[in-house]
Amino acid sequence: MRRAVLIAIPYVWLLALFLVPFFIVLKISLSDTALAIPPYTPTLDFSEGWTGIKNFFSQLDLENFVWLTEDDLYWKAYLSSVKIALISTILTLIVGYPIAYAMARAPEEWRPTFMMLVILPFWTSFLIRVYAWMGILSNEGYLNQLLLWTGIISTPLTILNTNTAVYIGIVYTYLPFMILPIYSSLERMDGSLIEAAEDLGCSRMQAFWLITIPLSRPGIIAGCFLVMIPVIGEFVIPSLLGGSGTLMIGKVLWEEFFSNRDWPVASAVAVVLLLILVIPIVLFQRNQQKQTEAEQ
Amino acid sequence: MSRLSWFNTVSLTLGFAFLYIPMIILIIFSFNESKLVTVWAGFSTKWYGELVQNEAFLDAAWVTLRVAVFSSTLATILGTAAAYVLVRGGRFFGRTLFSGMIYAPLVMPEVITGLSLLLLFIGIGLDRGILTIVLAHTTFSMCFVSVVVSSRLVTFDRSLEEAALDLGCSPGQAFRLVTLPIIAPAVVSGWLLAFTLSLDDLVIASFTSGPSATTLPIKIFSAVRLGVSPEINALSTLMIAVVTVGVITASLVTKRAMMRQKQDEQAAARTE
């Protein structure tokens, strides 16, 4: 009995506030825009009984999804979000792996301090960390001042409000998500494996590629998913660091909802985004489950 | 392995420089005299003074703090229960769906979570305000709490609970007297995580808040859209300072608790 209550409370909470809302989004994505409150039709009316429900379903259609394929903006935004997410995931991996590797190789008494230094930015506001780059990358910003002063460039570089700024922002803010899983898989690695490989005639590079990389693979996979999946729907970074040329679907959805007030189209955008994300999310969950089972 | 090779030293130095220099610059320039943020014009604390007098920011900060306290406390209770059920609950109907709902919000884009919750609240006719933000924040942060707590439950020696049950504890007592004290550090860090996630959230709060409740991130975002400002630098510095002190204190406290636990275990091993 007690067990049933313990299971039921978080279960019902998640059903009501996580799963049901998705069905509402799905339903509204099939509705039409209307000048009303709420701004869509049809709304479900139980007072008319069975005919009301039948009417309701007969009015649902795929019009909004057809609209998404007809207007260039949407599929371009989806493609460019996926592209930006892939490139920035690779960049984050390139920046993050050496840091995780060096942390795992550091003397044991230093590791907690390094861990703390990686985690600390993660606790500070995401918004503030993105904002910090606005002052650095702008035309009169600190980076341009430094480069002009050292004479490397003679005219300021335009970085803010371009895709370059978006990449820098993503790598910066998502770096802890990449470092931590890789570090935890590298830390568990048995150092004598490398020694054995070297004794058997491997060079250091060979030992790294043949042993270290494969053993840290679960960490790499987890880190890449943790960066890539949320970046596809990212809103804050493209809207603060990106420019008019930065197309990302999170921003499109936001504007569709808040500026155009077109709820059905915003919902359709969300449904398609979710469909794109289902594959990586399922793969991520499988990877996590495999790891937990391996630990148990 | 006792010393770092030059390659590892270089990657750690560059890595931490990359992580910290932007924030250090932000902090330095919050003490700038000039209104032009990128030009240094002498030391001054005047922006902090203006910040303290800015009622809109203070109101937003108060709303944010209340939302964070309520939602993180609720999320900790629900998330701990969810973790316990997942690790100890055995098989039950819909377990796969349940674990899916726990993991999915961790990677769900905030725009989707925000939009779907808003449509739910409008659908059931709930007025948007502090309550709706609390409900929204509780939902996504309970999943983070549950991941943190379940990773502690997995490594926990189950025979301790069994011993308590053999010695006559009810399952509730065994949980309260044995399990809870052992997982307490994870529960506390889960709460802290939920608290900061709530303090930090812009997107979900923007969807689920009404005109009566503006949170600090919403306020900062609308100010920052217009460009860099010294007042926001001052506010950011204060927030960074609070978080730094909080995280360092929390990690010292858990370190001490873990050391005490280890000593107790050693003492217990000796008396055996």
Q: What DSSP string describes chain B? A: --S--HHHHHHHHHHHHHHHHHHHHHHHHTTBSSSSTTS---B--HHHHHHHH-HHHHHHHHHHHHHHHHHHHHHHHHHHHHHHHHHHS-S-TTHHHHHHHHHHHHHS-HHHHHHHHHHHHHHTTPPPSHHHHHHHHHHHHHHHHHHHHHHHHHTS-HHHHHHHHHTT--HHHHIIIIIHHHHHHHHHHHHHHHHHHHHH--HHHHHH--TT---HHHHHHHHHTT---HHHHHHHHHHHHHHHHHHHHHHHHHHHHHHHHHHHHHHHHHH-
Q: Are B132 and B209 in contact (CB under 8 A)?
A: yes
Indicate the residue type of A61: D
Mean pLDDT, chain A, integer: 86
Domain residue ranges in chain A: 71-295
Closest alpha carbon within chain B to A224: B107
Q: What pLDDT shows up at residue B262?
A: 78
Chain B residues touching A18 at Cβ < 8 A: 101, 104-105, 139
What pTM value is reported for the model? 0.86
d(CA B112, CA B115): 5
Please tell me which residue, B183 or B265, carries the higher pLDDT value. Answer: B183
Q: Which CATH superfamily is domain A71-295 in?
A: MetI-like (1.10.3720.10)
Distance, CA of A122 to chain centre:
14
Chain A residues touching B107 at Cβ < 8 A: 225-226, 229-230, 277, 280-281, 284
Residue B132 pLDDT exceeds 50: yes
Q: What pLDDT shows up at residue B137?
A: 96
Which of A22, A27, A108, A127 is the best mutation test for B, with the most CBs of B within 10 A? Answer: A127
Cβ separation of A107 and B100 shorter than 8 Å? no
Closest alpha carbon within chain B to A172: B19
Which of B88, B119, B238 is the best mutation test for A, with the most CBs of A within 10 A? Answer: B119
Cβ separation of A25 and B225 shorter than 8 Å? no
Q: What pLDDT shows up at residue A79?
A: 93
CA quadruple A104, A110, A115, A120: dihedral positive or negative? negative
Assigned fold of B58-227: MetI-like fold (1.10.3720)
Q: How many CB contacts within 8 angstroms connect chain A with chain B?
A: 245
d(CA A160, CA A133): 9
Residue A294 pLDDT exceeds 80: no
Residue in B16, B19, B154 closest to A292 by CB: B154
ipTM field:
0.84
pLDDT bin (cut points 50, 70, 90) of residue B66 is very high
Chain A residues touching B12 at Cβ < 8 A: 99, 102-103, 106, 114
Q: What pLDDT shows up at residue B2?
A: 45
Mean pLDDT, chain B, integer: 87
pLDDT bin (cut points 50, 70, 90) of residue B1 is very low
Lowest average pLDDT, out of A27-36, A97-106, A268-277, goes to A27-36
Give me the residues of B, 109-168, that contact A with CB < 8 A: 109-112, 115-117, 119-120, 122-123, 135-136, 138-139, 142, 146, 154-155
- Residues of B1-14 as b/e, b for ≥16 C-beta within 10 angstroms? eeebeeebeebbee
R_g of chain A computed on alpha carbons: 24
- Any B CB within 8 A of A103 CB: yes
Residue range A287-291: average pLDDT?
Answer: 76
pLDDT bin (cut points 50, 70, 90) of residue A288 is confident
Chain B residues touching A250 at Cβ < 8 A: 109-111
Lowest average pLDDT, out of A7-21, A35-49, A273-287, B251-265, goes to A35-49
Q: Tell me how close the Cα of A70 comes to any Cα of chain B, in angstroms.
A: 22
Q: What pLDDT shows up at residue A210?
A: 87
Q: Tell me how close the Cα of B6 comes to any Cα of chain A, in angstroms.
A: 10
Cβ separation of B19 and A172 shorter than 8 Å? yes
Residue in B11, B228, B251 closest to A116 by CB: B251
Which of A17, A234, A274 is the best mutation test for B, with the most CBs of B within 10 A? Answer: A17
**A197-248: pLDDT as tens digits:** 888 888 888 888 888 888 888 899 989 998 998 899 999 999 999 988 889 9
Chain B residues touching A107 at Cβ < 8 A: 1-4
Domain residue ranges in chain B: 24-53+232-272, 58-227
Q: What pLDDT shows up at residue A132?
A: 92
Crossing angle of helices A126-137 and B230-271, in 10° steps, is 130
SS (H, E, C) chain A: CHHHHHHHHHHHHHHHHHHHHHHHHHHHHCCEECCCCCCEECCCCHHHHHHHHHHHHHCCCCHHHHHHHHCHHHHHHHHHHHHHHHHHHHHHHHHHHHHHHHHHHCCCCCHHHHHHHHHHHHHCCHHHHHHHHHHHHCCCCHHHHHHHHHCCCCCCCCCCCCHHHHHHHHHHHHHHHHHHHHHHHHHCCCCHHHHHHHHCCCCHHHHHHHHHHHHCHHHHHHHHHHHHHHHHCCCHHHHHCCCCCCCCHHHHHHHHHHCCCCHHHHHHHHHHHHHHHHHHHHHHHHHHHHHHHHHC
Max avg pLDDT among A77-91, B43-57, B78-92, B115-129: A77-91
Residue range A245-260: average pLDDT?
Answer: 89
- Any A CB within 8 A of B242 CB: no
Residue in B84, B117, B202 closest to A6 by CB: B84
* Percent of chain B residues topping a pLDDT of 90: 38
Q: Tell me how close the Cα of B270 comes to any Cα of chain A, in angstroms.
A: 27
Residue range A162-184: average pLDDT?
Answer: 94
**A86-96: pLDDT as tens digits:** 999 999 999 99
Closest alpha carbon within chain A to B229: A135
Chain B residues touching A22 at Cβ < 8 A: 116
* Percent of chain A residues topping a pLDDT of 70: 90
Q: What pLDDT shows up at residue B3?
A: 59
Which of A120, A136, A167 is the best mutation test for B, with the most CBs of B within 10 A? Answer: A120
Please tell me which residue, A174 or B172, carries the higher pLDDT value. Answer: A174
